[in-house]
A = this chain, B = another copy of it.
């Protein structure tokens, strides 16, 4: 047997190793929050898209959710408008909201759609306004963290209802839905929603098998300064404790909250994984212990 053939056989064995996972996940829905570095590097972009298309072909039903803060800030800059943040969220006045929506729904979303389609998938982009997929309401005034002052975050919304019918319609015909994190208020106005929250709520509404959040760290660490302390499995109680004592903080908070929301509504597994790793989605799905941190009920 030549070396070439032996290499081929090794490859075939990799496919065979995937078999138990194929069995487990056939016809299941995975909600994937796409973001961070994986949305910047051309190579990583392609790697994630290929992973998503592969999932579809082998009988898994991927749903992609994305935000796009960096691109929004860039467009605001071009318009000479400063990005303002409070409590880790963008203060979104009417003009900013218009830009947020245009960038997320009219630019970022279509780039993802087009990338999937170019590599042989069949993607359709949606925003939360389409068929009222994500009904939201404006967040009330809230105290600035660590202060008495109240802040009006403007057109920042929280989801009050998910109408997932259009997702089912598209998935049933083998389209891959790609969803921008824009909600629709009761008066039809646009609202800016945290994309992690959108992913968590969609996973809940779709009774997804998995919620997978791509981010730019390896996972959650017991000690942020010690890379050896990556937490493989994080139970809810411990997660809440770590939020309270500040070890989970900043952008990781909505991610963990999204996981907890999903778990509460029956999603089986939720994962925070490192999107900087090529094919991180496949690694999470097709290896026994997975990668990153799994948050559990």
Contact = CB atoms under 8 A, between A and B. Distances in A.
Contact of A113 (B98, B104, B129): B129
A107 B118 contact: no
A54 B22 contact: yes
A216 to B, nearest CB: 14
Interface in A70-124: 78-79, 98, 101-107, 109-110, 113-115, 117-118, 120, 122-124
Please state the number of chain copies in the assembly.
6
A147 interface: no
Contacts of A78: 79
A65 interface: no
A23 B120 contact: yes
Contacts of A124: 126, 130-131, 166
A237 interface: no
Interface in A174-197: 175, 182, 184, 187-190
A36 interface: no
Contacts of A175: 131, 166, 169
A278 B18 CA distance: 16
A107 B124 CA distance: 17
Among A12, A50, A129, A277, residue most surrounded by chain B Cβ atoms (within 10 Å): A12
Interface residues of A, number: 73
A284 to B, nearest CB: 10
A58 to B, nearest CB: 5
Interface string A1-38: 10001001101111111111011001000000000000
Interface string A30-73: 00000000000000000100110110011100000000000000
B5 A54 contact: no
A102 B106 contact: yes
Contacts of A131: 117, 122-124, 175
A199 to B, nearest CB: 20
Nearest to A163: B122
Given A58-B22, A58-B59, A129-B113, A12 B278 contact: yes
A190 B129 CA distance: 22
A135 B188 CA distance: 31
Contacts of A123: 130-131
13 contacts: A9-B283, A11-B17, A12-B282, A15-B286, A26-B57, A57-B59, A58-B58, A98-B107, A106-B107, A117-B132, A123-B131, A166-B175, A169-B175
